[in-house]
Amino acid sequence: MRTRPRSTGLSLPHPRVALLAAILVALAACQEDANSPTGVEAVAPPVANATAALSFRQVSAGWQHTCGVTTTNVAYCWGANHYGQLGDGTETWSPRPVKVAGGLRFLEVRAGDTHTCGVTTDSLATAGATASGAISAMGRPAPTG
């Protein structure tokens, strides 16, 4: 013979009511606390860079530096500059593009290991360590021989 389960006198709420109650408890617990270490902190907006954006039509990556020619035929380089390969007349590393010195107009640049070469609108230009180890600023190569 089967017996009926004994009633405890407690009735369980409808499943939707239980779900709604759980959601309300969770939402109440997730409110922001101004004293909490995970609270939202006021952060100053980033400072805008006043320089205009550059538009490159050609880019070349070397060992630790990159160079590119803009749509206005100006060359820029950034990265390592141990040998003057950025062509800006310094040996200072730059995380941002720096304009190549000399006022030359470029058609193309190629970044190498420790040097950069470029084809200008009227000749060639080099910067950085040459095969003989000489360091040069971006400019027309010296005649050999």
pLDDT digits (tens, 9 = 90+) for 57-91: 999 999 999 999 999 999 999 999 999 999 999 99
The predicted model scores a pTM of: 0.58
Domain-located, residue 65: yes
Task: Write down the pLDDT at residue 18.
Answer: 64
Query: Which residues sit opposite 115 in a β-bridge?
Result: 128
Q: Residue 124: which domain range?
A: 56-139
Cα–Cα dist 126/5, whole Å = 93
Domain-located, residue 1: no
Of all residues in the chain, what percent carry a pLDDT higher than 70? 54
Domain-located, residue 46: no
Number of domain units in the chain: 1
Length, in residues, of the chain? 145
Cα–Cα dist 132/59, whole Å = 26
Higher pLDDT, 131 or 97: 97
Domain-located, residue 126: yes
